[in-house]
Amino acid sequence: MKLIASPTSPYARKVRMVLAEKNIPFELIIDIPWNADTDVPKFNPLGKIPVLVLEGGETLYDSRVIVEYLEDVKPWPLLIPVDAQDRIAVKKWEALADGVADAAATIFLERKRPEAQQSPDWIARQMRKIENGLATMETSVAGSWCAGEAFTLADIAVGSTLGYLSLRFPEIKWRETHARLARIETALLQRASYKDTTPPPA
């Protein structure tokens, strides 16, 4: 299978980490969806990465669908709990982490526009999502890992988003203000799946 991704996308990093944790072989195709010559719309009508291309040519998106698919294909190591309540808790973590990444990516794009066209109110609204999201994550950490004592997709999603914040918003010193999240990231840094998917410096 092939994964179409960019090196900096937190959503693609989430999928790459799941593939690495499950030791599933894949070919990484780097394609930046913002480039004029991108092929991403040929694989995803929404023009977004990540896209997983299966052996028969079928394409899967978005990252949440892809990680569900990978869990089905190779359930071990288990990253999404089987128990319904635990499963929903982990998926909620994923939604929160992805939502913070969405807000961060929105600000990143807004700041690329000519200064006169940028909306400070819009940026402030997105920044509140980041701050509130981080605060909720911090108080929700339930044990050694985000969702309790087991390493799950929750930690992968949170780590991908924290890594993206460090890349694009180094001024948000989340490590200094969110001790539990800092502890989670320190633990993630022990794992090859996280270390090997570190985005290149901005």
Position closest to ligand GSH via CB: 62
Token readout for 171 is: 């001024």
Ramachandran bin of 198, using left for φ above 0, alpha for ψ from -120 to 50, beta for the remaining angles: beta
Which residues ranging from 147 to 166 are in contact with ligand GSH (CB under 6 A)?
Answer: none
Contacts with ligand GSH: how many residues (CB under 6 A)? 12
For ligand GSH, the closer CB: 34 or 179 = 34
d(CA 106, CA 123) in angstroms, rounded, equals 8
| Alpha-carbon gap, residue 193 to 57, rounded angstroms | 26
- Residue 157, both tokens: 């999603």
Minimal distance, residue 104 CB to ligand GSH, in Å: 10
Taking CB under 6 A as the criterion, which residues in 118-147 touch ligand GSH? none
**To the nearest whole angstrom, how small is the minimum distance from the Cβ of residue 152 to ligand GSH?**
17
Q: Does 94 bind ligand GSH (CB under 6 A)?
A: no
Q: Decide whether 118 or 148 has the Cβ nearer to ligand GSH.
A: 118
Residues forming beta bridges with residue 5, ordered by sequence position: 30
CB-wise, 34 or 186, nearer to ligand GSH? 34
Q: In this structure, what token pair is assigned to residue 159?
A: 């780590």
- Applying CB under 6 A, among 2, 64, 87, 191 the residue interacting with ligand GSH is 64
CA distance readout (Å), 197 to 18, 128, 177: 11, 27, 24
Taking alpha carbons only, the member of 79, 61, 91 closest to residue 22 is 79
Q: Supply the minimum distance, in Å, between the C-beta of residue 10 and ligand GSH.
A: 6
Contact at 8 Å (CB) between 194 and 159?
Answer: yes
Return the bridge partners of 3, or none: 28, 52
Site for ligand GSH in 18-57 (CB under 6 A): 33, 47-50
Residue 75 binding ligand GSH, by CB under 6 A = no
Residues that bind ligand GSH (CB under 6 A): 9, 11, 33, 47-50, 62-64, 98, 105
